[in-house]
Amino acid sequence: MDDYVSYQQQVVETAQLLVEKGYLMATGGNISLRISGQRAFAVTPSNYDYLRMTLADVCVLDFSLNRLEGQLKPSVEAAMHAAIYQARPDVNAILHTHQAYASALTLIKAPIPALFDEQARFLGRSVEIIPYAPSGTGFLKDTVAKHVKNHNNAFMMQNHGALIFGHDMERAFHNVEILEKCALAYLLALCTERPVSKIPLAVREIAFAKLRGDQKKVEKGLPVKDGE
């Protein structure tokens, strides 16, 4: 277990912080962290109170979903997490939340265009809607894996919730907060029934190029410093 303690600790601490911030409710959602140098990841257990969770409750699985650590049943979305890590070598942390404002946009199938500089810099060109698929199914895993290859770091799953990525857990958590800010602002703007302005296309592409630069560094195993 010692090999995985730091990863399990990050999962527990982040899950509990997401609950405190209101981005995770009850036992909904799930989070994971890639194990450096291995084809494996630490992931939250299925249907378990985040505030009661301890390091020993966090499961460690390989990409074939074989158990390496932990006694509890892993999240029903574990296969989805494994598929994302294999499709996106730049992603080291995945947060699947049921945050309210982003979830509301999934109900009206409203993707978020590039509204703010920081959104394009850290989340990508847009926040797209991934079509509905039942939770915990191979259909959802395959649908998600296909849609996340565009290198955006945030997505909204129709009638479900949000998927947020980061090169580490801290960046992924910050991206959750950026997404919720953008979702709330976009919802309020839509309610005015007035045209919603976007950042200029050239600015969006410059910001996205910086994001891709970070991702390429991660793929090569190089350190990334936010804001570079």
Q: Active-site residues: which are they?
A: 77
Question: Using CA atoms, how far apart are residues 187 and 164, in angstroms rounded to an integer?
Answer: 19
Residue whose entry in the numeric block shows the structure tokens 């294999």: 86
Q: What is the dihedral of CA 49, 51, 56, 59, to 10 degrees?
A: 50
CA-angle at 66, arms to 60 and 70, nearest 5°: 35
CA dist., res. 175 & res. 225, Å (int):
15
Q: Which residues pair with 95 in a beta bridge?
A: 31, 164
What are the strands of the beta sheet with 40-43, ordered from one edge?
A: 67-69, 59-62, 40-43, 30-34, 93-97, 161-166, 154-157, 128-130
User: Which residues lie across from 30 on neighbouring strands?
Assistant: 96
What is the longest distance spanned by two Cα atoms in the chain? 56
